[in-house]
Amino acid sequence: MSKGSFSAPPQVLSLHGLLSDFDGTIIDSTDAIVKHWHKIGKELGVDPQTILATSHGRRSIDTMQLYDKSKANWEWVSAVEGRIPKEYGSDAVEIPGARALLSSLDEAGARWGVVTSGTRALIDGWLDVLGLTHPRMLIVAEDVEQGKPNPGCYLLGRERLGLSSSENEVVVLEDAPSGIRAGKAAGFKVLALTSTHSLEQCLEAGADWVVEDLRSVSVRGVEGGRLLLEVRNAYQ
């Protein structure tokens, strides 16, 4: 790859809506999730590193299908994930710029929401622990039949924002290749963060823009029902 830098000039996107992934995009709970899967791996007799190599950006119910089908059900997954913020709350931090972005999206009255591979119990727990703005529109693992990279979760997100199938000018915020591919397969533009994966992985997955974190993203306002989103210092 030719050597570039995170220095692209500011660009303002005019959008019908914004859909954001959660873990790795709004918060970084890597340390908590690692501890969680180490605990689960020990209980299952499976090397935690094996689980961790494939679990990021995937629903736990899909991960458990690989290791213990008896636990691949919403009752077990929700109960276990719901404990993570309680047990490991101090191990999660917000992605730089996330708090300001969520607050400004809400204050501007933008059409936005969160589309995550986590369960409702997990996301509600993290939002409460970290005191972040609760999205009015939240798609969680239980809401879809297939997780990312299947685009169904993002298409459902657009629908729940009240957008028609022709209102395709939506930007997806993502950090994982599976999520980037889901956003692109839905027909949306994807703004990727290098918070959990490398620049090369983000570009290979098809990201339209790549930034280091959400300090490069800000709300300019809402005009005529469209969200004006400024992106600075993208990779070029």
CATH of residue 182: 3.40.50.1000
**What CATH number has the domain bearing residue 62?**
1.10.150.240
State the total domains in the chain.
Answer: 2
Reduced to 3 states, what is the DSSP secondary structure of residue 177?
Answer: helix
Question: Taking residues 15-42, what's their average pLDDT?
Answer: 96
Q: Are residues 84 and 130 in the same domain?
A: no
227 versus 2: the higher-pLDDT residue is: 227
pLDDT of 206:
98
The verdict on 107 and 215 lying in the same domain is yes
Query: Average per-residue pLDDT in the chain?
Result: 96
Side-chain half-sphere of 13: how many Cα atoms within 13 Å? 21
Instruction: Please check whether residues 16 and 45 belong to one and the same domain.
Output: no
Q: Are residues 41 and 98 in the same domain?
A: no
Is 51 within a domain?
yes
Share of the chain above pLDDT 70, in %: 99
Q: Does the residue 1 lie in any domain?
A: no
Give 2's contacts (C-beta < 8 A, 6+ positions apart). Answer: none
The length of the chain is: 236
How many CA atoms does the CB half-sphere of 78 hold within 13 Å? 10
In a domain, 203, yes or no: yes
Domain boundary among 91, 106, 134: 91
Strands 11-15 and 226-231, sheet pairing: antiparallel
Predicted local confidence at residue 50, as pLDDT: 94
**Angle at CA of residue 225, ends 20 and 173, nearest 5°:** 15
Question: Could you tell me which residues come within 8 angstroms of residue 107 by beta carbon, excluding any fewer than 6 positions away?
Answer: none
User: Tell me: the pLDDT tens digits for 134-178?
Assistant: 999 999 999 999 999 999 999 999 999 999 999 999 999 999 999
- Tell whether 106 and 172 lie within a shared domain: yes
- Domain boundary, last residue among 61, 91, 121: 91
Q: How many CB atoms lie within 10 A of CB 69?
A: 9
User: Is residue 4 included in any domain, yes or no?
Assistant: no
> Do 83 and 99 sit in the same domain of this protein?
no
Q: Is the pLDDT of residue 121 over 70?
A: yes
Same domain, yes or no: 107 and 218: yes
Mention every residue, 6+ apart, whose C-beta is less than 8 A from residue 230.
10, 11, 12, 13, 217, 218, 219, 220
- Containing domain of residue 40, as a range? 30-91
Same domain, 156 and 80: no
pLDDT of residue 113: 98
Please tell me the distance from the alpha carbon of residue 42 to that of residue 48, in angstroms, as a whole number: 7
Known catalytic membership, residue 21: yes
Last residue of a domain, one of 47, 64, 91: 91
199 belongs to a structural domain:
yes
Which of these is catalytic: 21, 175, 208, 213? 21
Say if 200 falls within a structural domain: yes
Q: Give the whole-angstrom CA distance, residue 190 versus residue 156.
A: 16
Residue 3 domain flag: no
What is the pLDDT, as a whole number, of residue 2?
57
Asked whether residue 109 falls in the same domain as residue 223, the answer is: yes
| pLDDT, tens digit (0-9, with 9 covering 90-100), for 176-223 | 999 999 999 999 999 999 999 999 999 999 999 999 999 999 999 999
What is the arithmetic mean of pLDDT over 3-19? 97
pLDDT of residue 109: 97
Q: What is the structure's pLDDT at 57?
A: 81
So what's the pLDDT on residue 3? 82
Does 1 score more than 90 pLDDT?
A: no
d(CA 139, CA 153): 7
**Bridge partners of residue 223, in order along the sequence:** 226
Q: Do 128 and 202 sit in the same domain of this protein? A: yes
What's the confidence (pLDDT) of residue 55?
Answer: 87
Per-residue pLDDT tens digits for 80-106: 999 999 999 999 999 999 999 999 999
Average pLDDT over residues 39-57: 92
The total of other beta-carbon atoms located within 10 Å of residue 90's CB is 9
Same domain, 117 and 226: yes
How does pLDDT run across 188-197, given as a tens digit for each residue?
Answer: 999 999 999 9
Of residues 23, 28, 208, 213, which has the active-site annotation? 23
179 & 222 share domain? yes
Does residue 152 fall inside a structural domain? yes
